[in-house]
Structure 1
Amino acid sequence: MDKKLKHTIDYINQQVGKNSGFSTPQNYFEEIEETINTSIFIENFPKKKIFNTPDGYFDTIEGQIQSKLAIEQEVTKTKVISLRKRVLQYIPTVAVASVLVFIGINYFSSQKITFEDITITDIESWYENGYGKIDNTEFAATLNTLELEEDILASISDETLEDYLSSVDTPTLINEIQQ
């Protein structure tokens, strides 16, 4: 088998230096498609002039354009309203609106609210709706300033405490303590 392989290699080496009689020009296959497309385009291209300009067209075109522009400028002239006139138009409206706002503020603010008018329910609602925020340090400072009765736990009976603890759900109580 090595003998056959050696003969094949020798044959190929002999053929490389020889001219087979067939040859193509350099870059033939790269340029053939472009050459064919160009020749087809040239054959199909019209032989006569399609686009003609009238005689003296370029001599008269400038005048025609200028006359059309002059006509358009006359048509599109608009009335210019100055900024001063525009502001003067809105001054009466602004004056009336400001008088109405002044009257409305004075009418609705005539009611005086005092601390006696605010109930504990209003304050609780205010905190529950997120209008008031208090952190633990502020709460602790408030508790320190309050004068608490020493017998606050003595006022709670054992039965009341047992009823409360039996009515409260244990996981809920644990969650409240952890928070």
Structure 2
Amino acid sequence: MENEIKHSVAFLRKQIGNKAGFSTPSNYLNNLEDDITIKISEESFTKETSFKVPDAYFNNLEDDIFAKVTSEEKETKVISFKERVLKILPFAAAASIALFIGLNSFVFNTSNSNTIDTLSDDDFEYWLDASTIDTDDIVEILPEDILEINEFSFALIEDETIEDYINSIDNTSLLNELN
């Protein structure tokens, strides 16, 4: 008997396929409660409309909208540039004074005085090569009380001192400079 049932079930599956006669859509049971609540809420609403449009409402609608949109022109307040500048001027003056004092105390307070000691040998040699100083310029700078003939004469220098100086000079460096 079981054999006959198996054959009949197999016959039916061949005819209708593997599908059973009844099926539910996917995610049907997940949203079922929400769907039922929505249906009950819709049925509880009344069928009549609670709002009525007044008679001739649309005849005057455009005029009413334009009346609300276009209002009377308001008087605009004009603030002149002169008033703004006069309000800002005291603050700008105070800021510039504070900046001036700050810069004088921090930036310009450095004492970088240039002396002959601060010059490098190359700078001094360049100045001597580039400058055209003659004896008249030196005479104008020196005070008059030291301008005696003995000050500039070589008679006061002893011969031994000159010889010692010449012997102390490195002769090879002089020869290299001449080449």
TM class, shorter-length? 0.3 to 0.5
If asked which structure has higher relative contact order (CA below 8 Å, sep 6+), I would say: 2
Instruction: Give me the TM-score of the superposition, normalised by structure 1.
Output: 0.36
Larger radius of gyration: 2
Instruction: Give me the TM-score of the superposition, normalised by structure 2.
Output: 0.36
